[in-house]
Amino acid sequence: MNKTQQKQPEKLLRKAHYKSAFLRPTGVVARCGKSVYISPDFHKKLSEYQ
């Protein structure tokens, strides 16, 4: 197994850990269900984790 193949499971584990730590439902509604502003840079970063 080469280094690239070894890093794939590690990358998936980090991604899963990140999702479980930060991307979970909170039950809190922002401003009575209204939308909140997210900067384009932050939106791009969040979109990469899907």
Return the higher-pLDDT residue of 35 and 50.
35
What would the pLDDT profile of 1-48 be if each residue is shown by its tens digit?
555 556 678 888 888 898 888 887 777 776 777 777 889 998 888 888
- Give the DSSP per-residue string, 1-50: --HHHHHHHHHHHHHHHHHHHHSS--SPPGGGG------HHHHHHHHHT-
Can you list the positions of beta strands (E) in the chain?
A: none
Given this model, what pLDDT does residue 3 score? Answer: 56
pTM: 0.39
Structural domain tally of the chain? 1
Residue with tokens 């979970």: 24
Name the residue range of residue 41's domain.
Answer: 3-48
Residue type, 46: L
